[in-house]
């Protein structure tokens, strides 16, 4: 069996390796990262790769033994993916909500300009697209808009004839028989989701537990380190739990600054997430991380980071918490923007049960990091204490421009991996 990446772009020959320094800072990766001393700053370091997209004939570089092809292109900021039980692929075409405040004042204006330079905050398509490969050649031959007029949709989940969609401010569901190429019926509003100003981390990810009785929702913080006050952080920086039968919404686990990708480990059934950590403590702080999420556990934000390290800036705001948090399982490098997560449940000799992670890439570090799809290898349900394997690289060109930025990832049942590239507009 030949393994391949059904991801961003065609790579028909030798593709040049482009500069990417993520693993130079290898001490930021693994089960016991060597943390640098904090270097607090009023503003984060700003170095963002200009978004230019891939040109015809250009491609990222796959790992040895893998090939890459375009599954679909010409999309508008595709960020998140869901494989349906019949093999169809859904893509959330989405961006920052129009009414999102983000940072306030001059800091907010600067952040928005940098986001646009890097390929975001240019208006949200607010839709979900259906892709279907009917002849199994690795290219979608059906490409249609399934649901439109949403509000910065992100997370998607499917169960028992219903498609669940997480807008930035509400959980919806649609009656949807598998195989249909449109949804005619109206949305059913299930519950509001936290979206008060500033709605800083606007994405809301979704995942059903193994029973289908509860739906987990990843909700990021409304700030960097609660500088707007904890009253703006109610039911945020957490994974929420929605009971499908009762409609009750509650906190499943807390202290997770921005938990985005979520996945069930295929061997243990445990819930895992990747978390984007805080800014403005220097180039090498704080590493994003991959961790198992245990019900009712506290993971530290905003007071603590990477286990038992207290953020003095938060203490200076008069916020403290003496509850020792749970240590994260595996550090993924500072400012790598680790977003997508899925487990590889296919008999590959080295990737069996590995965590596949899309690292969208830094915007606030003096040297670029991330801009990769990586795999963290697992053994008996736990991460190995080793550097991650790079599966797909070369999203930066020799000038440090972003030809693409990988976000959502999905490991398919046939061994392929699909990746949403929101700069190139390609899946």
Kindly report, residue by residue over 118-172, the tens digit of the pLDDT.
677 678 999 999 999 999 999 999 999 999 999 999 999 999 999 999 999 999 9
pLDDT given for residue 332 in this prediction: 97
pLDDT given for residue 110 in this prediction: 61
Mean per-residue pLDDT for 191-218?
A: 96
Helix (H) or strand (E) holding 339: strand 338-343
Helices marked H in 149-246 — which ranges? none
% pLDDT > 70, the chain = 89
Q: From CA 418, how far away is CA 399, in angstroms rounded? A: 27
Structural domains of the chain, count:
1
Which residue range forms the structural domain that includes residue 182? 22-421
Q: From CA 22, how far away is CA 25, in angstroms rounded? A: 6
SS3 88: coil
Kindly report, residue by residue over 228-284, the tens digit of the pLDDT.
999 999 999 999 999 999 999 999 999 999 999 999 999 999 999 999 999 999 999
Query: Do residues 362 and 335 lie in contact, with contact meaning Cβ atoms separated by under 8 Å?
Result: yes
426 falls within a domain: no
Distance of CA 72 to the CA centre of its chain: 20
Model confidence band, residue 197 (pLDDT cutoffs 50, 70, 90)? confident
Model confidence band, residue 19 (pLDDT cutoffs 50, 70, 90)? very low
pLDDT given for residue 10 in this prediction: 30
Assess whether pLDDT exceeds 90 at residue 109.
Answer: no
10 falls within a domain: no
13 falls within a domain: no
Q: From CA 371, how far away is CA 390, in angstroms rounded? A: 10
SS3 64: coil
Helix (H) or strand (E) holding 376: strand 372-376
Strand intervals (E) in 68-168:
78-83, 89-93, 127-132, 142-147, 156-159, 162-166
Query: Do residues 162 and 175 lie in contact, with contact meaning Cβ atoms separated by under 8 Å?
Result: yes
Assess whether pLDDT exceeds 50 at residue 20.
Answer: no
Distance of CA 415 to the CA centre of its chain: 21
Sequence-distant (6+) residues with CB within 8 A of 182 are 144, 146
12 falls within a domain: no
Query: Do residues 175 and 205 lie in contact, with contact meaning Cβ atoms separated by under 8 Å?
Result: no
412 falls within a domain: yes
Query: Do residues 272 and 292 lie in contact, with contact meaning Cβ atoms separated by under 8 Å?
Result: yes
- Give the residues across from 216 on adjacent strands: 207, 241
CB atoms within 10 A of CB 10: 17
11-22 exposure pattern, b = at least 16 Cβ within 10 A, e = fewer = beeebeebebeb
123 falls within a domain: yes
1 falls within a domain: no
pLDDT given for residue 17 in this prediction: 35
Residue owning tokens 């949709």? 153
Kindly report, residue by residue over 334-349, the tens digit of the pLDDT.
999 999 999 999 999 8
pTM for the full model?
0.93
- Left if phi > 0, otherwise alpha if psi is -120 to 50, otherwise beta: which for 179? left
- What CATH number is associated with residue 333? 2.120.10.30
11 falls within a domain: no
How is residue 427 annotated by DSSP?
-
Sequence-distant (6+) residues with CB within 8 A of 242 are 171, 190, 191, 214, 215, 216, 217, 248, 249
Q: From CA 40, how far away is CA 285, in angstroms rounded? A: 10
Query: Do residues 420 and 61 lie in contact, with contact meaning Cβ atoms separated by under 8 Å?
Result: no
Mean per-residue pLDDT for 64-91?
A: 96
pLDDT given for residue 122 in this prediction: 74
Alpha carbon distances (Å) from 143 to 75, 77, 84, 183, 316: 10, 15, 15, 14, 52
Kindly report, residue by residue over 276-305, the tens digit of the pLDDT.
999 999 999 999 999 999 999 999 999 999
pLDDT given for residue 25 in this prediction: 67
């Amino acid at each position: 069996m030949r393994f391949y990446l059904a991801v961003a772009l065609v790579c028909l020959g030798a593709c040049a390796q482009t500069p990417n320094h993520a693993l130079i800072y290898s001490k930021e990766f693994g089960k016991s990262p060597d943390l640098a001393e904090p270097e607090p700053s009023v503003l984060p370091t700003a170095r963002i790769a200009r978004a230019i997209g891939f040109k015809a004939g250009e491609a990222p570089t796959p790992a040895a033994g893998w090939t890459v092809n375009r599954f679909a292109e010409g999309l508008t900021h595709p960020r998140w993916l869901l494989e349906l039980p019949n093999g169809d692929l859904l893509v959330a075409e989405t961006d920052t909500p129009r009414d999102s405040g983000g940072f306030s004042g001059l800091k907010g204006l600067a952040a928005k300009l940098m986001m646009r330079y890097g390929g975001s905050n240019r208006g949200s398509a607010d839709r979900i697209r259906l892709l279907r490969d009917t002849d199994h050649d690795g290219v979608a031959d059906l490409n249609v808009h399934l649901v439109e007029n949403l509000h910065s949709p992100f997370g998607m989940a499917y169960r028992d004839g219903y498609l669940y969609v997480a807008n930035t401010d509400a959980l919806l569901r649609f009656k949807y028989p598998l195989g249909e190429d449109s949804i005619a019926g109206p949305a059913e509003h299930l519950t509001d989701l936290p979206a008060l100003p500033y709605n800083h981390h606007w994405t809301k990810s979704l995942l059903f537990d193994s029973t289908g009785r509860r739906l987990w929702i990843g909700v990021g913080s409304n700030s960097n380190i609660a500088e707007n006050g904890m009253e703006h952080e109610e039911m945020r920086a957490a994974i929420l739990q929605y009971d499908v039968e009762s409609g009750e919404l509650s906190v499943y686990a807390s202290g997770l600054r921005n938990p985005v990708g979520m996945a069930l480990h295929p061997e243990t059934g445990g819930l895992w997430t990747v978390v984007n950590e805080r800014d403005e403590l220097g180039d090498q702080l704080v590493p994003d991380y991959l961790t198992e999420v245990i019900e009712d556990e506290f993971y530290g934000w905003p007071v603590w980071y990477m286990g038992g390290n207290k953020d003095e800036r938060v203490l200076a705001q008069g916020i403290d918490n003496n509850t020792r948090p749970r240590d994260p399982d595996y550090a993924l490098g500072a400012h790598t923007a680790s977003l997508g997560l899925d487990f590889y449940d296919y008999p590959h000799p080295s990737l069996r049960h590995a965590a596949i992670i899309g690292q969208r890439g830094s915007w606030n570090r003096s040297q670029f990091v991330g801009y990769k799809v990586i795999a963290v290898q697992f053994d008996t349900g736990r991460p190995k204490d080793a550097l991650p394997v790079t599966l797909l690289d070369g999203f930066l060109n020799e000038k440090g421009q972003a030809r693409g930025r990988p976000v959502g990832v999905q490991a398919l049942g046939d061994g392929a991996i699909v990746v949403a590239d929101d700069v190139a507009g390609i899946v």
